[in-house]
């Protein structure tokens, strides 16, 4: 599958398909379904400085063409990740992974990156700037270009690996945020994170999620994600990893034509554990049928 190879800062992927953070864990739950070494990379579950137990249940709800989640970044913390999880990972996956880094303060992001720098299997960091900045009253780093720039610079200053910054769609001007993180030193951009949404149980007359609001993902958000990838591609020079409602090989091609160099599949893994495996196997013949010899030739062609 040489024709599927793509290059990202610090990484060469055998194909552009990877599971999105939070929908695949570290891969251990999927090895009974298929050989996950077929994947271009894996975006790990979020890693924070200290263990987090997440939000109270119910924290997942189905909606039309998607789902809502308010998991709350449940994870075992960076110490457990470094000492127990990453040492086991090469036994099931031999390629470089992208570690998702989250925090509530800049200092937390920095602490996680410093601890993860020693892990050879990490090829890059995905910095989730949609987290609430507790020093700024809970406002997410992603909603203001100054804060987005600040956390990007801080992460870049201590990182020994490329920094990919994950952008939130819950902003007025996605291009402004993208340009700010690029100027601050981001090596790539991943987008989009989930949209905010909610459901109400008409029988109980209360919100379905204990957290009230949750992140909307799945096919429902694909048109928004595609538009934002298209917009950002026209305004930045660094690579983009696109995500948001990808369920088919056609979706992958659309995102790449809009400007994504690679893609991540999230909710699709929860619907069909084999989805990434299936799409990888379908891609080569599909791009050939469209008249493309190599998949990298698709990137940005929708811009003319």
Please count the CA atoms within 13 angstroms of the CA of 77 that sit on its side-chain side.
8
- Check: CB of residue 14 under 8 Å from CB of residue 40: yes
- Check: CB of residue 15 under 8 Å from CB of residue 287: no
Cα angle for residues 36, 37, 39 (degrees, 5° grid): 75
The residue among 289, 222, 261, 290 whose CA lies nearest residue 40 is 261
- Check: CB of residue 211 under 8 Å from CB of residue 148: no
The residue among 195, 184, 205 whose CA lies nearest residue 267 is 195
Q: Which residues on adjacent β-strands are paired with residue 60? A: 69
Q: Which residues on adjacent β-strands are paired with residue 7? A: 12
Strand pairing of 206-207 and 60-63? unpaired
Look up 131 and say whether it is catalytic.
yes
Catalytic-role residue among 8, 106, 131, 252: 131
Task: Give the active site residues.
Answer: 131
């Amino acid at each position: 599958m040489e024709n599927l190879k793509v290059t990202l800062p610090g990484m060469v992927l055998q194909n552009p398909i990877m599971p999105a953070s939070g929908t695949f864990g570290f891969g251990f739950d999927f090895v009974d379904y298929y050989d996950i070494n077929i994947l271009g990379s894996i975006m790990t579950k979020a890693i924070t400085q200290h263990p987090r137990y997440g939000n109270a249940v119910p924290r997942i709800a189905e909606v039309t063409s998607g789902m809502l989640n308010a998991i709350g970044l449940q994870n075992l913390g960076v110490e457990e990740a470094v000492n127990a999880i990453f040492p086991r990972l090469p036994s099931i996956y031999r390629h470089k992974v992208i570690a998702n880094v989250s925090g509530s303060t800049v200092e937390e992001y920095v602490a996680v990156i410093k601890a993860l720098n020693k892990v050879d299997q990490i090829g890059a960091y995905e910095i989730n700037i949609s987290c609430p900045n507790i020093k700024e009253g809970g406002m997410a780093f992603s909603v203001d270009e100054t804060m987005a720039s600040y956390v990007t610079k801080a992460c870049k200053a201590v990182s020994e690996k490329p920094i990919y910054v994950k952008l939130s769609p819950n902003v007025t001007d996605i291009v402004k945020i993208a340009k700010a993180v690029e100027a601050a030193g981001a090596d790539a951009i991943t987008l989009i994170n989930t949209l905010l949404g909610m459901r109400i149980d008409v029988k109980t007359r209360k919100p379905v999620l204990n957290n009230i609001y949750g992140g909307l993902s799945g096919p429902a958000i694909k048109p928004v994600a595609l538009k934002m990838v298209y917009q950002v591609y026209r305004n930045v020079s660094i690579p983009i990893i696109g995500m948001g409602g990808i369920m088919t090989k056609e979706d992958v091609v659309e995102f790449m034509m809009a400007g994504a160099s690679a893609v991540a599949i999230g909710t699709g893994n929860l619907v069909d554990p084999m989805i990434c495996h299936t799409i990888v196997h379908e891609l080569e013949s599909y791009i050939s049928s469209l008249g493309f010899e190599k998949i990298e030739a698709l990137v940005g062609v929708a811009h003319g």
